[in-house]
Amino acid sequence: MTLWAAGVLFSSPMIRAQEMAGLVSDRYAGINRGLINPAAIFDSPNCVDISFLTGNFSIQNNYFYIPKGEFSFSDLFNMKDTYLAEPGQYFSERLDIARMNGYQHSRLQGPSFLLKYGSHAIGFVNGVRSVSSMQKIPGHLMNFNTQGLEYAPQLNIQYAENNPFAASTLGWAELGLSYATTVAGTQDNNWAVGITGRYLMGYHAMSLRSDKLVYEVDDDRNIHLARVNLEAMGSLPFDDATNQTGAAENYLKGSGFSFDLGVTFSENSTMALEVINLRPIPRAQAADYRYRLGFSVLDIGGLRMKENIRSFEFSEMSLTWPNAHWEDYDNLNQLLDTLESNLVSGEIIHRDGEPYWVGLPTAASLQFDYNLGSGFFAYAFWVQDLPLMRHRVARPSQLGIVPRYETRWFAFAMPVTFHDYRKPRLGFSMRLAFLTIGTEQPGGMLGVNELDGMDFYFSITWGKENCSRKNPYKSVNQAPCY
C-alpha cells in the first residue's frame, strides 16, 4: 500500500517544503506578508500594494538524494533521465534511515492586492496550491519499494510498526479576503489583529494512514501480513480501472474553507529608534519600530472531497500474498482483488463514493523582527505543524533566522533555517524594485553538498507608500499610510 501511495503522490522521487522566509520577512512585501501572519499586512509601509504574480516551488526529503556535484540545472528539463529514471539510475537512496519524511509545496498566487485606510487594511488573495507529505514512513518499507522485494538484508525479518505513519497529497485553488486592524496602542506601541478567510476548490486528494503493520517478506517474495490496520482514500484525476485521465467536467472534486488568524505587537519607542538609527525619527515615520512580535495560526480548515472517490479500510487484516510482484497489476482494483482472495482474517471495507475530509497543512507560527538600525534587521521565526485532523497533509516544522538589509527599492536577506528542526540550510533572497527572487537551499544546486531538496520563490509586486492617510494613533495628517 505504501508503494501505491508513493506512486500516486509524487511523479519524481523528490518531495517538497514551504515558507519563503526571505520574502515574508520583508516589510515591503505587502499582501505577501500575510502568508506568515495576516495581521502583518497592517504593518507594511505600503498603503496600496499589488502582487501581480508570486510563486513558490520547493522540495525536501531525507531518503532520496543526488550525490555532491552530480546535479546539473539541465536535469530539471530532462524527463527521460531524471523523473522517469529507474531507482539507482539517477537518484541515490539512504538505505539506513529509520523513518522517511518528505514534503512538497507548490504555490502560484495570481493578482492580489492590499489597501490600507487609517487603522484598517483589507486584501484579496487568489491562487493554486499543491501540498504533499510523507510522515514517518518506515525505512524498510522505502527500501523494499526502491530495491525490490528481493532486497536480501531485509528478508525473513518480521517488522512490527505500532506507531502511525501517513502519506497524503492535496491540490486546490483558493479565493480569499484578508482584514487587519489595530485594537490597542499608543504612539510608542500598538497591537494589530488580522484574519484571512478562503474558499477552496479541490482538484485532487489522496490520504493513506497506517495505525498498525506487522509483516515479513521471505526468500520467495511471499509477503506475510500478520496484522494490518490501514485507511486509504482518494479523489484522483484518473479512472481506477483504466488509469486514464478523467473528463474535464469532473476536474473539481471537492470544496472547503480555511482561515489564518494572527496578532502582532510593535514597540515603537521614539527614543530607542533615534539611538539605533543615529538620527531623529520624524513624527510621520510610524513604519519604524524597535521590535515587532507576531503569532499566527495558518491554514485552519480542509477540503470535503465528493467526486470520483475511492476509499477502503483494512481492519485487523492478515493474509499471505504469494510471489508478490507490483508490476503484475495494471490498476488498484486488481491489487485489491488479489488481497481479498488471500484473506485469512479481518476484512477489507469498501467505502467508494462516500465523501471525506482532508485537512490543510495547519501550523502555528511565532515571528520576531528586531530593528538593528540604518536599514538592518534581524528576523526570527518558528513554525510548528499542528495535526488537527486525522487525514491531512502535514507541514514541515521549522526554525529560522533571517538577517537582512532593507530599503524601499532594495533588500537582501540570508535565511538560516532548520528544516524539521534538524537539517540546516543557508539561503538568500534579493528584492530589486518590483522583483523578489530567493531560495532557502542553493547548496545542492550549486554542487556544494548532496542534493536532497531544492526550492525557488519569486514575486512581482508594485506598492505605493505615501497616500496622505492619517496615523491611527495621532490626530494630525501624516505622510505614510498608518
- pLDDT (tens digit per residue) in 219-270: 999 999 999 999 999 997 766 665 565 544 567 889 999 999 999 999 876 5
Mean pLDDT of the chain: 85
Task: Please compute Rg for the chain using Cα positions.
Answer: 25
Give the 3-state DSSP-derived string for 301-338, with helices as H, strands as E and coil as C: EEEEECCCEEEEEEEEEEEEECCCCHHHCCCHHHHHHH
Q: Is the pLDDT of residue 367 over 70?
A: yes
The answer to whether residue 287 scores a pLDDT higher than 70 is: no
Is 131 within a domain? yes
**Of residues 2 and 318, more confidently modeled:** 318
Is 99 within a domain? Answer: yes
Residue 19: inside a domain: yes
Task: Annotate 64-92 with b (16+ C-beta within 10 A) or e (fewer).
Answer: bbbeeeebeeebeeeeeebbebeeeebbb
Our count of domains for the chain comes to 1
Predicted model pTM = 0.85
Q: What is the pLDDT of residue 40?
A: 95
Contact 184, 190 (CB under 8 A): yes
Residue 239 has which C-alpha cell? Answer: 479512472
Report how far residue 352's alpha carbon sits from residue 206's, in angstroms, rounded to the nearest whole number. Answer: 13
pLDDT for position 302: 97
Residue 153 sits at φ, ψ, to 5 deg, of -60, -15
* E strand residue ranges, 218-329: 223-235, 254-267, 291-305, 309-321
What does the pLDDT read at residue 263? 97
**Given a cut of 90, is residue 14 above it in pLDDT?**
no
Q: Is the pLDDT of residue 479 over 50?
A: no
* 3 state DSSP class of 103: strand
Parent domain of 339: 2-464
Residues found in the chain = 482
Note the pLDDT tens digit of each residue in 436-459: 999 988 877 776 788 888 889 999
Q: Report the CATH number at residue 380.
A: 2.40.160
Mean pLDDT of 107-132: 94
Find the mean pLDDT for residues 167-189: 91
Q: What's the pLDDT score for residue 449?
A: 80
Q: Would you place residue 83 in the very low, low, confident or very high pLDDT band (cuts 50, 70, 90)?
A: low
Q: What pLDDT score does 132 carry?
A: 94
- CA–CA separation, 471 vs 47, rounded Å? 12
Question: How many CB atoms sit inside 10 A of residue 444's CB?
Answer: 21
Residue 480, domain member (yes or no): no
Residue 269 in domain = yes
For the residues 80-104, what does the mean pLDDT come to? 78
pLDDT of residue 308: 87
Q: What is the DSSP letter of 154?
A: G
Residue 101 falls inside a structural domain: yes
Residue 477's pLDDT band, with cuts at 50, 70 and 90, is very low
Q: What's the rounded Cα separation, in Å, for the pair 99 and 244?
A: 33
- 205 located within any domain: yes
In this structure, is residue 290 part of a structural domain? yes
DSSP per-residue codes, 417-431:
EEETTTEEEE-EEEE
Tens digit of each residue's pLDDT (9 = 90 or more) over 22-74:
999 999 999 999 999 999 999 888 899 999 999 998 888 999 988 887 777 66
Q: Give the model confidence (pLDDT) of 371-395 as tens digits.
A: 998 899 999 999 999 999 999 999 9
Distance (Å, rounded) from C-alpha 476 to C-alpha 468? 11
Q: C-alpha grid cell for residue 234?
A: 482518494
